[in-house]
Amino acid sequence: MGTRIDLLQSRAGGRVDVPCGKCRACCRDTVLLLEKEGDVIERYQHEPLAGPNPEKAIALKRGPDGYCVYSTPDGCSIWQDAPFLCRFFSCVAFFSSRTRNERRDLVKKGLTSEEVFKAAARLIKQGVRP
């Protein structure tokens, strides 16, 4: 797996179809804004990420509770205008494409949260497929 993490489904069909409902598990993960994928950074509340080149790593801002500032108890307040990563991330596909050990390693490294994988497991039990 290395350091690259494939999070996204094919873009061919447009936005992924994950029945999120009121689930906000992935709203606590870091969401990078990607200008090359059409994200207009100025349209979003954002913050630089720490690292060797922070001006190139910009993420959606998070509130004091750790959730994205656009996350509400009822879901995403900018669903229609969500950034690229939000539109194309599927927790079900992410979960399904990894072994149990790979999922544990990603959580341990802080690259995703255990809540994302728990949400995906619930959806899979309900019959949602990647």
Give pLDDT tens digits for 49-87: 887 765 678 999 999 999 999 999 888 899 889 999 998
Total residues found in the chain within this entry: 130
Nearest to 86 by CA among 13, 7, 3: 7
- First and final CA of the chain: distance in angstroms? 19
What per-residue confidence (pLDDT) applies to 124?
95
Let me know: does 7 contact 85? Beta carbons within 8 Å. Answer: yes
Let me know: does 48 contact 62? Beta carbons within 8 Å. Answer: no
Let me know: does 130 contact 96? Beta carbons within 8 Å. Answer: yes
- pTM given for the model: 0.78
The pLDDT tens digits of the residues spanning 91-103 come to 999 999 999 999 9
Query: Is residue 2 predicted with pLDDT exceeding 50?
Result: no
What per-residue confidence (pLDDT) applies to 50?
80
